[in-house]
Structure 1
Amino acid sequence: MLRPRYFTPTEVSVHNVANDIWVSFLGKVYDLTPLCEKHKGDVLLKPILNSAGKDISNWFDKKTGNLRTHIDPVTNCRVAYTPQGRFIHVPPRFPASDWANDFGKPWWQDEKYCIGKLSQKTRKIRLVNMLTSQQNTIEVCSEENMLEILTRYEAYNVHAASYTWKFCGTNLDMTRTLEENGVEDEFEKFYELGMNEDDYLPAIHLYFNDDLTEH
């Protein structure tokens, strides 16, 4: 099975406009750009647009994965609880002739919008290019293996795969995560000691190999 792609909350947050809108909820990341394009101009998009780039897990019941509900004080019926306002695919409070429920799955249950998972814990690491002495600090997902972190680093060095990655002199297993490679996340220790984590980021050293990777 293919590994899911992991995203940091920061990555989700930059997709915050109508023509490029992501949200996260219940541990997954959704690209709602096609939904917003399809319903462009619909007033029911407003709550979604207002939440662009944010986590909206509080809209949903963690057990069922569906919308939270409550008893409507007027109708005494159980309905979707939408204090942020009714949105696309949520039925109206009262029967309405213009309400069509032939859309299939509501968007929050439609996996076609899901593009990956939201990282449960992100961390920063320092990458030191031993050939050029260039240093870059990047935020990564704790769930990612080193190959996936390498892909992130390609934004700074397109030949990232032409390096041997080491931590404390030991070659890293690129199929394993940072923790699995012995690169501990010491955030809690630094927090308890009142130390700034950014001043003590683990350094991964990259040693250039003989052949450049073709891109």
Structure 2
Amino acid sequence: MRRQKYFTPTEVSLHNTLKDIWVSYLGKVYDLTPLLEENKGDVLLKPIIECAGKDISHWFDPKTKDILTHVDLMTGCIKYYTPRGRFLHIPPPCPRTDWANDFGKPWWKDNRYEVGLLSAKTRWIRIINTLTAQEQRLEVCSEETLDEILQRYLCYNSHAASYTWKHNGVNLDMSKTLSENGIPEEDEFYCGSPECNLFSPSICLYFNDDLTEL
């Protein structure tokens, strides 16, 4: 079975329009674009649209995986807690005859919208092509294997699979993560500073057909 794809928070944040809306919650990433298309014009979409590209884990109870609840002071009943306002598939505060509850699963429990997993921690690395001397800095997911990082790098070098990937002169196991390959993380002291690039771990790519390679 193919592994689920990991996404960085930055990648999720880029999907923040009405035609392309992603959110993340409880460690997973969801594409809610079809939900908006199916319910176009519904005012109850507003809180969801306002959080496009963001993590909304704070909406949920991590134990039940459901929307947080609270006790209504007026009625004493347990109700969903929605401080940003009621949203799609949340029942109205009082019984109403015009609310359709035949939608099946609420959107937050519908795995049709799930597209992958949210990285718990991202890392910055430098990939250096020793054949062309080109260097690319990438933000990657700490959970990704080198093979998965290679897929990210293909947009910069479509022949990346034809190279041997090394760190400090040692061949990397492409089926393992950066940490499993013994590649240290960047120095947090320099993270975000102009010198950050200098202290990001580097991976050197050696073209397999390069006759100069020993």
TM norm structure 2: 0.93
What corresponds to 2:79 in structure 1? 79
Does the residue aligned with 2:66 lie in a helix, a strand or coil? coil
Shift in Å at residue 210 of structure 1?
2.3
Q: For 2:209 and 2:198, how far apart are their aligned partners in 1?
A: 33
Partner of 1:92: 92
The residue aligned with 1:134 is 134
Once the two structures are TM-superposed, the CA of residue 209 in structure 1 deviates from its matched residue by 1.6
Say whether the 8 Å CA contact 2:123–2:186 is kept in structure 1.
no
Q: Could you list the per-position Cα deviations for residues 105-160 of structure 1 after superposition, in whole angstroms to 9, with x for gaps in the alignment? A: 11101111111000000010000000100000000000000000000001111111
SS in 1 for 2:161: helix
- In the TM superposition, what is the alpha-carbon distance from 1:184 to its structure 2 partner? 1.4
SS state of the match for residue 4, structure 1? coil
Opposite residue 82 of structure 2, the aligned amino acid is: T
Aligned to 1:31: 31
Q: Is the 8 A contact 2:60 2:68 kept in 1?
A: yes
| Residue 102 (structure 1) shift | 1.0
Post-superposition offset of 1:92: 0.5
- TM (norm. structure 1) is 0.93
By percentage of residues, which structure has more helix? 1
Name structure 1 gaps, 5 residues minimum.
Answer: none
5 Å-filtered alignment, 1:1-215, equals 1-188=1-188, 190=189, 197-210=196-209
Q: 2: CA distance between counterparts of 1:152 and 1:191?
A: 24
Which secondary structure does the structure 1 equivalent of 2:128 belong to? Answer: strand
Q: Match of 1:198, as an amino acid?
A: N
Q: Distance in 2 between matches of 1:195 and 1:15?
A: 28
